[in-house]
Amino acid sequence: MTVNLRTPPALAPAPVRPAPVRPALIAGLSAPKGFGDATLRDRRVDAIELLGGIPDPDVLPTSALAEATARVLGRPGVPALQYSRTEGISPLREWIAEREGVAVERVIITNGGFHGLSLAVQAVVERGGLVAVDNPIFPLFLRGLELSAADILPIRVGSAGLDVGELADRLRDGARPAALYTVPDFHNPTQGTLPAVARAELVRLAEQYGFIILADNPYRELWFSGGPESVDAFNSSEHVIHINTFTKTLGPGLRLGWIVVPDRLAKDIVALRSRQDSHSSTLVQAVVGELLTSDPGVFDATLGRARALYLNRARTLVAALERQAPGAFQSVLPGGGLFLWPRLSDDRIDADRLAADSSAEGVEYQRGSFFPSGPGTGAARHLRLAFGHVSEPQLEEAAARLGRALRKQVK
Amino acid sequence: MTVNLRTPPALAPAPVRPAPVRPALIAGLSAPKGFGDATLRDRRVDAIELLGGIPDPDVLPTSALAEATARVLGRPGVPALQYSRTEGISPLREWIAEREGVAVERVIITNGGFHGLSLAVQAVVERGGLVAVDNPIFPLFLRGLELSAADILPIRVGSAGLDVGELADRLRDGARPAALYTVPDFHNPTQGTLPAVARAELVRLAEQYGFIILADNPYRELWFSGGPESVDAFNSSEHVIHINTFTKTLGPGLRLGWIVVPDRLAKDIVALRSRQDSHSSTLVQAVVGELLTSDPGVFDATLGRARALYLNRARTLVAALERQAPGAFQSVLPGGGLFLWPRLSDDRIDADRLAADSSAEGVEYQRGSFFPSGPGTGAARHLRLAFGHVSEPQLEEAAARLGRALRKQVK
């Protein structure tokens, strides 16, 4: 038998291959569950939702934004519709740098606070690394952390924010996190604010043990009296990424925020970000920059209205809970922000049943059990009630519904 | 000697640790060089820049965008300033789905075309995987690919787009890419469009060998006559992510685009995207959705003006090059898009010296040597001239300057 070398044998059709394997990055992302998954429960059409830290549209500068948009779209050559630098446009970065008290080169514009967290995590946490985190914690941060498949080291959060002493103990015991995540001002969910002395000690630990503090500060500007705690300790350290956003002050739908980063990290973060989505919307940056710089008083005037509204709503909710369910909730009037974190006084109350009964009565909130990052918090005995976007009469009604739900368990 | 167990020995202060090591993700990102790095050269203040695929502001619907903004910011409750779904807002997704001829569930809104590419790469390419790519290629795609530290398999691009035959040969030889990247319509930089029969064959190969086609289509709508090539072969396959954007049609500064994904990938991509920046600006989505749906003819009317303008500029540039440097450039009038890719006829011309001399004369362009992803293209003998945003008199002047630069090498 001879083989004709000029005519190759007919190729059998290759079998259809299965689709490619999912990359480890994707396979490591958890399925939605609990906090933030709005579709988990059927709701009453008249449900009052105390679910998210949502600013009230009445205190957003809506018409000023529309006017600023018309102005930037009317400029010759319309630069607001063109490409811009990854770091962000200069007028906006300069305004932020002045407010933060840092050099403009350290300010990078983001698509909101969560985007800043995501960039920070990817920039400083090796895959499979260790990150110390608030306990209880803003749960979506743990989802963002899945991008780095990181392990967590939960650190207790009390009424004065992160327990820096516990962190120091864990570091002395040998823990070596790459980063620490905390909300220093008006903590989500526990309301507390980290005092100045603890900020300084936290920064000292970061510098001693070589980790990066991810200071997540979306509620900072929403203080109710006396001004916010200083962030100088954060902004003057090479070991802090300070994350902020216009989400709670000018509107979540803008998707506009910023991070203050150490000089040595700026180039890495810009390199990463330029490979993801190039830069934040030039239009949104130009509109907000125009709003803030064309009328120097507009931001503080907007914040003044917001602070007064949210303080009034916090007071209304605390009082309504006490009136509708006397003694049932241990509430502390928050010093700022958009959340109340009352504790159930009566240990006989089943908190999950209360959430279900409340839903049936027509009030939705985040149950405390969504928030622990580790054991020992007692968070499951709390409720997180978001009051920012809910009118005072609706807050009264929500408290009445909560009271009815409670009375299904105790008379 | 006794040891007092109650008093621990004084701890020596821990030494200051160095900053954490850069994650592999970050260490794998290249330093800026060549294409896209605007700061590499000093330019004349009167330089004519033919550098980027930039739409002309005169054919962007500027005032209609301002009017749409005023309307969406005037709505009760101002939903345009609030959070929205990761996939995007419904009116915009529905408009896109209808234009693409796909189910709305397959449309995911992005922050522009590059963001779509970035999400697609991360969703389907394992770190260190293999990706077949255009050769020559849109160079920024290779930077995005650094997110997955991928190896590349360059596939030749000719006057009719990707050489699907060469790809088939490489697959038969055993290459097993996870994905293939190509620009099917009005290729960047080589102008060509992949014919329908080659699209069908490419999809057949993807389905046979189990890779995902990343079809990057930013110039698709900017055809000059007869309409675009069909994308049905792409949109009907489970092995294609079709990437598009409003960047070249409504403005890069919006940062708004979309991807059409196979059903089975939608959830993964939403999970990834929700951990990066939550969702695209609700405001930008609402404004563009309002623009497109409130006046059903506005998009095609905008495109009609743009196509006529860009065709005229393409013709002007081709004619001006021939007039200013007869026979020096082999140019093909493009069928659409924003680029001319002329070849230097005279092999004695040093292309790098020409670029430097042109810069000295006051005309900037991307030299062809920035574009190969592998050997064998001859791209270094080409120039990429972007004409979209440059007026006809300026194109004439640019050609004159190029002619003067050429005559420094040949009389």
CATH number at residue B174: 3.40.640.10
CATH code of the domain in which A364 resides: 3.90.1150.10
- Residue B63's pLDDT band (cuts 50, 70, 90): very high
Let me know if residue A60 belongs to a domain: no
Q: Which residues of A touch B241 (CB under 8 A)?
A: none
Contact at 8 Å (CB) between A152 and A133?
A: yes
Q: Could you tell me if A183 and A320 lie in one domain?
A: no
Q: How far apart are CA A248 and CA A252, in angstroms?
A: 6
Domain membership of residue B218 as a residue range: 63-296
- Return the closest-CA partner of residue B391 out of A156, A65, A77, A189: A77
Strands A383-386 and A363-367: antiparallel
Q: Which residues of A touch B281 (CB under 8 A)?
A: 111, 253-256, 281, 284
Q: Could you tell me if B156 and B92 lie in one domain?
A: yes
Inter-chain residue contact B29 with A146, CB threshold 8 Å: no
* pLDDT the model gives residue A21: 72
Inter-chain residue contact A123 with B26, CB threshold 8 Å: yes
Tokens of B29: 């990102």
Q: Could you tell me if B339 and B198 lie in one domain?
A: no
Inter-chain residue contact A276 with B78, CB threshold 8 Å: no
- Return the closest-CA partner of residue B132 out of B240, B213, B239: B213
Inter-chain residue contact A20 with B210, CB threshold 8 Å: yes
Mean pLDDT of chain A: 93
* pLDDT the model gives residue B204: 98
Q: How far apart are CA A321 and CA A390, in angstroms?
A: 15
Which of B26, B77, B178 comes nearest A272 by C-beta? B26
pTM surpassing 0.90?
yes
Q: What is the mean pLDDT of residues B41-67?
A: 92
Domain end: A295, A321, A338, which one? A295
Q: What is the mean pLDDT of residues B183-200?
A: 97
| A-interface mutation test, from B81, B140, B212, B279, most A Cβ less than 10 A away | B81
Domain end: B261, B296, B331, which one? B296
Q: What is the mean pLDDT of residues B368-374?
A: 97
Q: Could you tell me if B251 and B352 lie in one domain?
A: no
Q: Chain A residue closest to B249 (CA)?
A: A81
Q: Could you tell me if A282 and A307 lie in one domain?
A: no
Q: Residue A48: which H helix or E strand, with range? A: strand A48-50
Domain end: A269, A295, A321, which one? A295
Q: Could you tell me if B266 and B311 lie in one domain?
A: no
Q: Could you tell me if A270 and A305 lie in one domain?
A: no
Contact at 8 Å (CB) between A310 and A222?
A: yes
CA distances to B5, B6, B9 from B2, in Å: 9, 12, 13
Let me know if residue A327 belongs to a domain: yes
Contact at 8 Å (CB) between A204 and A180?
A: no
pLDDT of B124 > 80? The answer is yes
Q: Could you tell me if A218 and A309 lie in one domain?
A: no
Least confident of A63-72, A74-83, B18-27, B219-228: B18-27
pLDDT of A372 > 90? The answer is yes
- Residue B275's pLDDT band (cuts 50, 70, 90): very high
- Residue A394's pLDDT band (cuts 50, 70, 90): very high
Q: Residue A156: which H helix or E strand, with range? A: strand A151-158
Q: Is B203 left (phi over 0), alpha (psi -120 to 50) or beta?
A: alpha
Q: Could you tell me if B317 and B376 lie in one domain?
A: yes
Q: Could you tell me if B117 and B234 lie in one domain?
A: yes
Which of A81, A147, A272 comes nearest B29 by C-beta? A272
Q: What is the mean pLDDT of residues A67-92?
A: 97
Q: How far apart are CA B249 and CA B57, in angstroms?
A: 10
Contacts made by residues A204-208, CB under 8 angstroms, sequence distance 24+: A205/A164, A205/A167, A205/A168, A205/A171, A206/A180, A206/A237, A206/A239, A206/A240, A207/A237, A207/A238, A207/A239, A207/B16, A208/A171, A208/B13, A208/B14, A208/B16, A208/B17
- Return the closest-CA partner of residue A334 out of A397, A278, A385, A392: A385
CB-count burial class (<10 Å; 0-12, 13-18, 19+) for B127: middle
pLDDT of B328 > 50? The answer is yes
- pLDDT tens for each residue of A4-32: 444 444 455 555 555 557 888 998 888 76
Quote the distance between the C-alpha of residue B74 and its chain's center. 34
Let me know if residue B34 belongs to a domain: no
Tokens of A18: 């299965």
* pLDDT the model gives residue A35: 66
Dihedral of CA atoms B143, B149, B150, B156 in degrees, nearest 10, equals 30
